[in-house]
Amino acid sequence: MFAMLANPAAFTEGLAGGEPEPGLVSNAANGTPASRFLQAELELNAHLRRLSFSEPVRYVYNPLDYAWDTHRCYVEKYCLPGQRVLFLGMNPGPFGMAQTGVPFGEVRSVVDWLKILGEVGRPDEEHPKRRITGLSCTQSEVSGARFWGFFRKLCGEPTRFFQHCFVHNLCPLIFMSATGKNLTPPELPAAEREALLSLCDSALCQVVQALNVSMVIGVGRVAEQRARRALSAAGVDVRVEGIMHPSPRNPLANKGWEGVARAKLEELGVLSLLSSS
60 φ, ψ to 5°? -130, 120
pLDDT given at position 18: 35
pLDDT given at position 180: 94
Q: pTM for the whole thing?
A: 0.89
pLDDT given at position 31: 78
Distance of CA 46 to the CA centre of its chain: 17
> If you count them, how many residues does the chain have?
277
Among 27-41, 167-181, 227-241, 243-257, whose mean pLDDT is lowest? 27-41
Q: Is 88 helix (H, G, I), strand (E, B) or coil?
A: strand
Helix (H) or strand (E) holding 216: strand 215-219
Q: Which of 110, 93, 8, 84 is nearest to 239 (CA)?
A: 84
Q: pLDDT, tens digit, for every residue of 34-70? A: 999 999 999 999 999 999 999 999 999 999 999 999 9
pLDDT at 233 over 70: yes
Q: pLDDT, tens digit, for every residue of 95-109? A: 999 999 999 999 999
Question: Which CATH class for the 38-274 domain?
Answer: alpha beta
Helix (H) or strand (E) holding 114: none
pLDDT at 189 over 80: yes
Domain ranges of the chain: 38-274
Q: Which of 79, 89, 78, 83 is nearest to 242 (CA)?
A: 89
In order of 70, 154, 219, 232, the CA distances from 225 in angstroms are 29, 27, 10, 11
Quote the CA–CA distance of 232 and 185 in Å, as a whole number.
21
- What torsion do the CA atoms of 262, 266, 269, 272 make, to the nearest 10 degrees? 80
Quote the CA–CA distance of 184 and 199 in Å, as a whole number.
16
- Percent of the chain exceeding pLDDT 70 equals 88
pLDDT at 255 over 80: yes
pLDDT at 17 over 80: no
Confidence of residue 276 (pLDDT cuts 50, 70, 90): low
Helix (H) or strand (E) holding 183: strand 182-183
pLDDT given at position 8: 52
